[in-house]
Amino acid sequence: MRRSEELELARRALRGRDLVVFSNDWDGDPLSKVHIMRILSRDNRVLWVNSIGNRAPKANAHDVKRIWKKLASFTEGIREVEPNLFVLAPLAVPFYGSEAVRAFNRTLLRAQVLRAMRQLHFKKPISWSFLPASAPVSGRLGEEFVVYHCVDEFSAFSDTNGKHIAEMEEQLLRRADLCITSAERLRENKVRINPKTVLVRHGVDFNHFVKACDPSTPIPEDIAKLPKPLFGFFGLVADWVDLEAIAATARAHPEGSVAVIGKVAPDVNPKELEALTSLPNVHMLGRKPYAALPGYCRAFDVALMPFKVNELTLNANPLKVREYLAAGLPVVSSDIPEVRKVGLCKLASGTEDFVRKVDECLAEGSGPTRERAERIRHESWEAKVEEIRGFVGEAMVKSGRGL
């Protein structure tokens, strides 16, 4: 076969296909998985299987609410949330330490997904997993091709049973026809188990976030009148976020404000959270709709990306960094490998250095600018999905499948 024919076959491999996708819950914040599958659903049918969990639930209000929500979603059956994009909320028992439970989940999940596939008339699908917890069923659905798309070091999350998550991930890696990773360190780790491992870094919804540079974009009322300078963070406030760096920024600028936008996860250290929220110029604004984020970014003078440096964050590729940059903002970040690779950010080596870098941003000119935003335009999700199409297509051509 000539190289031109191989390339044409590769381009066609991810068009007109049925994809079974294991990921986070569809109704959550739009993470990298949502952006990728929205683009792929333009010319493929996607069955999105909501999260089957990476950890056992705890007896707290957060987890009880989540369980009830999952039960309610399950009763809805398959929902078509967008053209070609169908969501299934399966039932599973997330107690991964028990082999009996794993065996039960294999049977239960497989039955639910196969039933949904029959309803949608899916045949010879590509299964695409963003979660190790899909290991009991990935590769057992009559798939033509199995993709593991790894965007985090899941065994390093503090609220998981790391040993069992690592075991499931290894099963998935060995079964996958292709492993796609979002960070170089992840690629280095996963290629040891699966040599068919590639790197495709995150993209950004540039046209959405660049609205922060448009004077006609309205600034929401709850942030518009906060004293300047205004230092902003958006995203999940989880235990990997360095709250002390945010607090130090607030203390260094009592004349200004710090706005924290996002849900507070139950795993956050209560003492660290109290130390932050007790400061009079720190404003916890809660979770906001994705559509509203450019307006909030327009109010920011400097965007903050403070992560504690540990095994989880060393493997992370924080999507919010590219979103801040697309909003035209100066960014101060903890020094982690993938942010260093992006460039365009000031990197801090500790709390004092974080505050120092924030001050440098203020001195150099703060707030959103179109010139800053343009430097990240080429990192669009469309460009990243074309990379993914190429890798999947090439792997399918080499294996003689999808032709």
Mean pLDDT per 10-residue run, the chain (403 residues)? 61 88 92 97 97 55 44 65 96 68 82 96 95 92 96 87 88 97 98 98 97 98 97 97 98 98 95 97 97 98 97 96 98 98 96 98 95 96 95 89 59
Q: What's residue 52's pLDDT?
A: 76
Cα–Cα distance between 354 and 231 in angstroms, integer?
12
Cα–Cα distance between 280 and 288 in angstroms, integer?
22
Cα 196 to chain centroid distance, Å, stands at: 22
Q: What's residue 403's pLDDT?
A: 53
Phi, psi of 100 (to 5 degrees): -65, -40
Q: Residue 152, Cβ neighbours under 10 Å: how many?
A: 20
Q: What's residue 58's pLDDT?
A: 47
Instruction: Name the token pair of 10.
Output: 């590769």
Cis peptide, bond prior to residue 132, ω within 30 of zero:
no
Q: Is this structure's pTM higher than 0.75?
A: yes
